[in-house]
Structure 1
Amino acid sequence: MLEPEPVDLLDVIAFIRVVETGSIANAAARLGIVKSIVSRRVSRLEAVLGAQLLTRTPRGTRLTDIGREYHAHAAAGLSQLESAQEVVSKSTSEISGQLRIQVPAAFGEFLLAPLLAEFALLYPLIQFDVRFTDRQVDMVAEAYDLAIWPGAVPDSILITRKFAKVRWAVVASPAYLDARGRPAVPADLAAHDTILYALDPGRWRFQGREGWEHVRMNSRFCTDNGQMLLAAARAG
């Protein structure tokens, strides 16, 4: 069995507008096209369907019995299409949905938290799920939309943006320096107790007059939390 010839949606719309407005001239004015195009579209629709949908008279048009039945279904279908378009238009014009975010604890608490609070006020249709963790999460497996990481991103399939530079500094509490002495050159750090961030490989790099110098750190305190790093340093 041969498949029926598909109808042109524009032809169907032209037919529906003729019925709604009562004449081809009125439909043409509503659609913003000339009468001949509307008439041609309706005639083409009738030819494809193999049925006369309208009876043309000097006073306008009148639906045939089959035309009345076809119009009822076609108008309902067009209304559904228009409703679907409104749904898409609304979803693209209004920012909504769930946003799942991972940020390092210290960065999130001091910098991102107030910004996200302001953002939530601006977009009340967004549901936020913000996790403060210093580990590198699996974006796909854990269903995160956005993650903020320091350093390189190992997964090349992710869309990445560099939005800030991180400046590193070697610091110590006065109590620690009083007890252990003040290092004069980077190599002296190898003899000191250092606090390492969990993602830190433990090999620090310093730039001097003769180029880069690498020092393997001796650490007995490692953590993946920025607040713990700060507390340990302050404690000496």
Structure 2
Amino acid sequence: MTDISDLVVYVRVVDQGSLSAAGRELRMSPAVVSHRLQRLEARLGVRLLNRTTRKVHTTEEGEIYYGHCLRILEEVEKAEQALTESRENPSGLLKITAPVSFGRRYLAPLIPDFVKAYPEVEPRLHLTESLVNLVEDGFDLAIRVGRMEDSSLMARKLAKDHRYICASPEYLEKHGTPKIPQDLLDHNCLLLRFPGSRQFKWRLVEDGVSHFLAVKGDLDTNNSDVLLDWALSGCGIVMKSQWEVGEHIKSGELIPFLEEYVPQDNVVAALYPQGKHVPPKLRVFIDFLVERISHPVPWE
């Protein structure tokens, strides 16, 4: 394949009418310019220029080739300009994945305001309870809620994820309130199960040590909103984030307990693939989330 820089040399020589003039413009010696032209002609197998002592003239083939070179270099310039503009101006598709409940409550309502601020960015919001592989599935950003495990992804913390173990007053009146974590084993715990989830084992902290308690219950689902509805209906005990149950605890519909045993190292975070350059569309969206979610946290 022809080196694009050889095309630049050829066009400059034709435009200037001499090797030395083109060399001065390109900051090359006439010998280097001549060598580049010879290499180009050898690759093409045709003579492009007729050379005299002071001037060069295109052959018939050279004139045809010159026209094509101008169009090619113009397209290259347009492509580079487009990349420059995309680096400076947020634009293009932005594929986002988030948990269903969090995405519906706190992310989806923000999207219209973001689009108003950045009309050339086109968000595509995918809500799922499954963990999506950002690189393999072509996503720009994932909102994750939980503990941030070691990952090859970059992470930007948006907020703390305060957790509660709670149940309705009706359930606790009928079955009693657990006093220590082990008491949960004798209660009906409402379980969130989906591929990759570990939440059927509740992580609790006792004397500074984390324990995974294999709680049981007769109801489980892969939808966190359903789980909350069951808890509000008095079906059992649930472990939930503040952004899910805060309003219900405040109203008295749910009663928290065992608070000293619930670890508080979970976070809401924006995760994105590592790279030297973060696209403007992604950078401004993350900054937008920090502004709208982190200060102040809407569910506190």
Q: Same fold (TM over 0.5)?
A: yes
Structure 2 CA distance for partners of 1:169 and 1:27, relative to 1, 3 Å: same
Give the distance between the partners of 2:142 and 2:2, measured in 1 at CA: 48
Name the amino acid aligned to 1:229.
L
Question: 1:110 corresponds to which residue?
Answer: 105
Question: 1:70 corresponds to which residue?
Answer: 62
Map 1:15-164 to 2 at 5 A. 15-34=10-29, 37-38=32-33, 41-42=36-37, 51=47, 53-56=49-52, 61-63=55-57, 67-87=59-79, 89-91=81-83, 93-94=85-86, 96-137=91-132, 143-145=137-139, 146-150=141-145, 159-164=152-157
Deviations 1:178-228 (A, max 9, x none): 332221111111222222112345222322227444433231221222222
Question: 2:291 corresponds to which residue?
Answer: none
Deviations 1:112-147 (A, max 9, x none): 334544444454444333222223357688x45144
CA shift for structure 1 position 16: 2.3
Give the distance between the partners of 1:205 and 1:8, measured in 2 at CA: 60
Structure 2 CA distance for partners of 1:39 and 1:211, relative to 1, 3 Å: closer
Larger radius of gyration: 1
Name the amino acid aligned to 1:22.
G
Structure 2 CA distance for partners of 1:214 and 1:207, relative to 1, 3 Å: same
* Runs (5+) with no aligned partner, structure 2: 235-300
Question: 1:3 corresponds to which residue?
Answer: none
Give the distance between the partners of 1:137 and 1:8, measured in 2 at CA: 41
Q: How many residues align?
A: 224
Task: Say which SS state the counterpart of residue 167 (structure 2) adopts.
Answer: coil
Question: 2:9 corresponds to which residue?
Answer: 14
Task: Say which SS state the counterpart of residue 205 (structure 1) adopts.
Answer: strand
1:220 aligns with 2:218: yes
Please tell me whether the aligned partners of residues 98 and 144 of structure 2 are also in contact (alpha carbons under 8 angstroms): yes
Give the distance between the partners of 2:138 and 2:3, measured in 1 at CA: 43
Please tell me whether the aligned partners of residues 195 and 219 of structure 1 are also in contact (alpha carbons under 8 angstroms): yes
| Range moving further from structure 2, 112-121 or 125-134 | 112-121
Give the distance between the partners of 1:185 and 1:52, measured in 2 at CA: 89
Give the distance between the partners of 1:197 and 1:220, measured in 2 at CA: 12
Question: 2:250 corresponds to which residue?
Answer: none
Please tell me whether the aligned partners of residues 101 and 144 of structure 1 are also in contact (alpha carbons under 8 angstroms): no
Task: Say which SS state the counterpart of residue 111 (structure 1) adopts.
Answer: helix
Structure 2 CA distance for partners of 1:19 and 1:196, relative to 1, 3 Å: same
Identity among equivalent pairs (%): 29
* Runs (5+) with no aligned partner, structure 1: 1-5
Please tell me whether the aligned partners of residues 120 and 126 of structure 1 are also in contact (alpha carbons under 8 angstroms): yes
